Structure 1
């Protein structure tokens, strides 16, 4: 991945954390927030430069152990990722869309080394949520705390329980997600 795209992804992540996208805020958050720093390492580990990519993979692996976030650099992730807490596990075959939030103890797994979840855009994955198997989570969905999701979820649904069931529609995606990035970030990535 080119440096310009990595920079855009990092600043979209920064926007999710702070609603700002300037260099001063970047350094402040990078130095004080280990979860954001993990995401910076994750983004740089996708660099086209082998040496740079390798170095950041090592940094990511080391910091990932400390903050307890297991997220393979090969996982396709859209802009605006938000991981505010640790204890997050993501299978290497998962796909994560734009503006997704992964809260503490979230687990995205597969069954017997099979495919894993495909997560749409602006999905809020609450604390202690488990996604199991080859399922699709529709865009703008909210997965409530403690949900265990084993079946596909349509777009704009609030899901709770074990097994997860849709209980209502999401009327405003901003109610659950903070500082969502708009489509201008997607245009920047295409440049």
Structure 2
């Protein structure tokens, strides 16, 4: 028989996979984009929606990975993160494994500092995550530049990082108050009896 703590871990892992698949499905949808010619004679609101349609959205999956790894590292094992992000690489036509490796390195960096981040206030946590996101972007683009692969403009990529950084507090809020994912307390142990 499965105890309550183990059931909760597996339920959150299944929930993570479901959220990741839903986000991936949303990104693959062929959503219509408004044309600028349709907005030629209308108010600024239409021009704003065209601009919004053409800018990249936040990487919500990355925000979830960071938020959950900071709060409950036992809910997201390395293999689960690797499988989900590698699937995303394949379906979004990215070089398979590069972004996955960067996400794994960043998430393991965070996981290795759970004891430190437990004591940090949210502002410092937010700065840490923002720094990691910018570092991941720079390394990703440097690898592309080294192998001479064409890539989108740096400003376009930075907009996505900026959106991700701005959406991180909302992801943390929803994770904390809707899913009850809080940072582990001092001396708290996980479902397997290990100190978190």
TM over 0.5: no
TM-score by length of 2: 0.28
Structure with the higher strand share, 1 or 2: 1
